[in-house]
Amino acid sequence: MPALGAAMQEFANGLLPVNPVEGEDVRWTVDERLEHYNCPGVAVCAFRDNEIVEAAGFGGTTPGGPAVDGETIFAGASISKPLTAVLALQLVDQGRVDLDRPINEYLKSWKVPENDFTRRVPVTLRHLLSHRAGTTVHGFGAYPHDRPAPTLLDVLNGTEPSPTPAVEVDKLPGESVRYSGGGTSVVQLLLEEMNGTDFASLAREKIFEPLGMSRTVFDQPLPEALRPLAAKGHHVDGRVVNGAYTFTPQLAAGGVYTSAPDYARFMIECRNAWLGRGNVLLGQETARQMMENQGGGQFGLGWEIFGSGAGKRFAHGGSNEGYQCNTTCNLEQGWGGVVLTNCLSGLMLYYEVMNGMAAAFDWQGYMRAPRRIVPIVGDEMQRYVGRYRIVSGIDAPHFDIWVEDGQLHSHIQGLILPPRPIYMDESGRFFTQQVPSETAVEYGPDGRAQTLISYAAGDIEFLRAERVPEDA
């Protein structure tokens, strides 16, 4: 392994909690946290403005196996979606598609099924790219290697061998945000029909080759020639996923394989387009729209958008069976990073990795200020204990709070995040040290917590949950 630069060495020994607490100085090495999260390996890439500062790998492609390096390939899962968005926005730049015309005007072999919702507000490309189309099918997961893969029309129609139901609209388009891989599959169909080529070839021609992304493909399953360069996927318990490499036929929503430097090159060029530097991917006007929140929520067109002014950044994460990947880039200041892991528990590792990179590579405005914990003791804890039904924001059934060893803990059922201690700060909001969110509480007439509202990036609501009566 090449010797690490000074900043990367500082990072390797300085991972930090997401939400630091006043009076605590907690730091870990990358190797310590890989072991803690039972994660075989991680690749990272730090960049600033137009330059990749440094890429490095830690751990192995599998426990005890070949070392991960800066160029190791990982399944990117949903970080595929910004790539898909750029391909679609190229059609907008060319004047071939209007962001706000009904998408069914352009589709040929399949149409978004009409119903009362779509007759009131037709689905548009803008809706689909910002997850505001009201389309169903949150995600797809991995697909067995030993079974025939569904075609794109199988996925859209929900017919065998598709593992998911048909993509349809069951909410008024434009009314609210609901993450939908099914909606992204509609965009894939649009791209293939209008360009007359398959999606993997289109991405290679329009993005990967122009940007020199030589270790990035949408080919599924992962081609044999690339497998020696790739990290094997792992479950939370350390088992290798079936077939070692995730098979994701739903390409546009989650099928990319990439390296950390390759994906950094893509993010750099997205920012360049936003700045009006060159025109490799998009024109500036279109890129500006891509980086604006669309009608509320955290999504622009393809990217998640956080903060404002000098703190505004674009980001996206991805989670497939065996892999967890995350990215971020500050628009004004130009710093950013890519984190790729070969385990599902890599989501927790990512937050600590990004904080460590922020400290080592001087990412101004990324780090959160230390919080002061307000103790909750004795019977007061019982105000919060219970089960809360999630009514909006994410596809998960319940938010549970309980007392363990004299400390409040929480867990969202259906997510890969493990149960964790929660604390209250001086604002009255709950937080954990592992996840960059905070939860406000609305109280009922009896003084007990009635509604939980979780926010990302300070002001973006991503979850609302209501207390379930104890006799329900």
Structure tokens that stand for 366 in this block: 């990324």
Report residue 302: phi and psi, to 5°: 100, -40
Total structural domains in the chain?
2
* Interval 34-70: pLDDT, tens: 999 899 999 999 999 999 999 999 999 999 899 999 9
Rg (CA), the chain: 22
Residues 283, 378, single domain; the answer is no
User: Is 19 a domain residue?
Assistant: no
User: Is 7 a domain residue?
Assistant: no
The more confident residue out of 148 and 401 is 401
- Beta strand spans in 278-419 (E): 304-306, 313-320, 323-330, 335-341, 373-374, 386-392, 398-404, 407-412
User: Is 40 a domain residue?
Assistant: no
User: Is 66 a domain residue?
Assistant: no
Residues 354, 415, single domain; the answer is no
Identify whether the C-beta of residue 135 lies closer than 8 Å to the C-beta of residue 121.
no
Residues 301, 403, single domain; the answer is no
The CATH number of the domain holding residue 444 is: 2.40.128
Q: Note down the domain range covering 199.
A: 75-361
* Interval 94-108: pLDDT, tens: 999 999 999 999 999
Residues 135, 277, single domain; the answer is yes
* Bridge partner list, 78: none
Identify whether the C-beta of residue 107 lies closer than 8 Å to the C-beta of residue 123.
no
Region 303-327: mean pLDDT is 92
Residues 354, 379, single domain; the answer is no
Q: Say which amino acid occupies 432.
A: T
The domain boundary, picked from 361, 396, 418, lies at: 361
Q: Give the residue from 56, 59, 52, 60 showing the smallest Cα distance to 70.
A: 56
CA 207 to CA 281: how far, in whole Å?
7
Give the chain's end-to-end CA distance (angstroms, integer).
58
The domain boundary, picked from 361, 381, 415, lies at: 361
Q: Give the residue from 384, 410, 415 showing the smallest Cα distance to 397.
A: 415
Residues 207, 350, single domain; the answer is yes
At 23 the three-state DSSP class reads: coil
The pLDDT assigned to 368 comes to: 82
Q: What are the residues whose beta carbons fall under 8 Å from the beta carbon of 346, sequence distance 6 or more?
A: 37, 39, 42, 323, 324, 325, 339
Q: What share of residues in the chain are helix, strand, coil (percent, to 5)? A: 30, 25, 45
The domain boundary, picked from 337, 361, 385, lies at: 361
User: Is 343 a domain residue?
Assistant: yes
At 254 the three-state DSSP class reads: helix
The reply to whether the predicted model has a pTM over 0.85 is: yes
Residues 413, 342, single domain; the answer is no
User: Is 284 a domain residue?
Assistant: yes
Residues 225, 183, single domain; the answer is yes
Q: Which pLDDT band holds residue 457 (cuts at 50, 70, 90)?
A: low
User: Is 368 a domain residue?
Assistant: no
What is the length of the chain? 472
Structure tokens that stand for 167 in this block: 């993509």
At 118 the three-state DSSP class reads: helix
CA 249 to CA 254: how far, in whole Å?
8
Region 321-336: mean pLDDT is 95
CA distances from 52 to 46, 49, 115, 248 (A): 6, 8, 48, 29
Identify whether the C-beta of residue 19 lies closer than 8 Å to the C-beta of residue 432.
yes
Residues 140, 171, single domain; the answer is yes
Residues 351, 432, single domain; the answer is no
The CATH number of the domain holding residue 332 is: 3.40.710.10
Residues 403, 256, single domain; the answer is no
Residues 347, 276, single domain; the answer is yes
User: Is 32 a domain residue?
Assistant: no
Q: Which pLDDT band holds residue 416 (cuts at 50, 70, 90)?
A: low
Residue 109 CB-density burial (10 A; 0-12 exposed, 13-18 middle, 19+ buried): exposed
